Amino acid sequence: MNRIFYLNFALKVLTLTILAICFVRLALAKEVLAPEKFSGPISAGYRAAQKSKDICSKLFCYCGCDMTDEHTSLLDCFTSMHGVDCAICQEEALIAYKLKEQGKSLAQIQRAIDERFAAQYPWDEASPMYENYVKNLKISSKNVLNNKPINTIYSTKTKNGKTIKASHCCGH
């Protein structure tokens, strides 16, 4: 009986490990749009995302695109035209790339991005994507919002029945 239990457990762990590897490969398989299509800071943002896909696929984008565009990571912003008119996405990618080039760890990069941009998250309530990101962070989730509840950071307005903070990329 114990042997069957351990074999079932080992099979479940192996299955979950394989699924996790597939998910990471799928995330990294997404192609960033060619930076050459753009100019100035837009091109720089796409280039940074292209050169740091491994990092951007593990960062949360704080512009609100998790709710408006169903993005699962910062990388998604640059596999579409979304990053073209979003300064938050562009800045996050540029900072992530710069820190990667400086040899910073994923946890250090996450902390820097989270500390700088979490207060700009436009929604009053965390999305399932955001909650999942915080749950899986390499750093303490307590640090993500600098101990501030999401809904107390900016003034809000309502769009399509959802309450959002004013003046954000996805909160037009």
Q: Is there a single domain that holds both residue 50 and residue 66?
A: yes
For residue 166, the model assigns a pLDDT of 45
Q: Is there a single domain that holds both residue 20 and residue 53?
A: no
Residues 6 or more apart whose Cβ sits within 8 Å of residue 46: 32, 33, 34, 35, 37, 38, 78, 83, 93
Which letter, b or e, does each residue of 84-94 get, where b requires 16 or more Cβ atoms within 10 Å of its Cβ? bebebbbbbbb
- DSSP H or E segment with residue 159: strand 156-159
Q: Is there a single domain that holds both residue 74 and residue 157?
A: yes
Q: Is there a single domain that holds both residue 129 and residue 61?
A: yes
For residue 137, the model assigns a pLDDT of 77
Q: Is there a single domain that holds both residue 56 and residue 141?
A: yes
Q: Is there a single domain that holds both residue 77 and residue 157?
A: yes
For residue 7, the model assigns a pLDDT of 72
Instruction: Give the SS3 label for residue 22.
Output: helix
For residue 90, the model assigns a pLDDT of 96
- In SS3 terms, 122-143 reads as CECCCCHHHHHHHHCCCCCHHH
For tokens 């990571």, what's the residue?
73
Which residues of the chain, if any, have pLDDT below 50?
Answer: 25, 27-28, 140-159, 163-167, 172
For residue 3, the model assigns a pLDDT of 78
Q: Is there a single domain that holds both residue 53 and residue 80?
A: yes
The total domain count for the chain is 2
Q: Is there a single domain that holds both residue 14 and residue 95?
A: no
Burial of 128 (0-12, 13-18, 19+ CB in 10 A): exposed
Q: Is there a single domain that holds both residue 124 and residue 159?
A: yes
For residue 19, the model assigns a pLDDT of 56
- Whole-model pTM? 0.69
Q: Is there a single domain that holds both residue 68 and residue 12?
A: no
Q: Is 70 left (phi over 0), alpha (psi -120 to 50) or beta?
A: left
Q: Is there a single domain that holds both residue 149 and residue 80?
A: yes
Residue 116 CA, distance from chain mean position: 13
- DSSP H or E segment with residue 156: strand 156-159
Range of the domain at 140: 33-171
Q: Is there a single domain that holds both residue 148 and residue 115?
A: yes
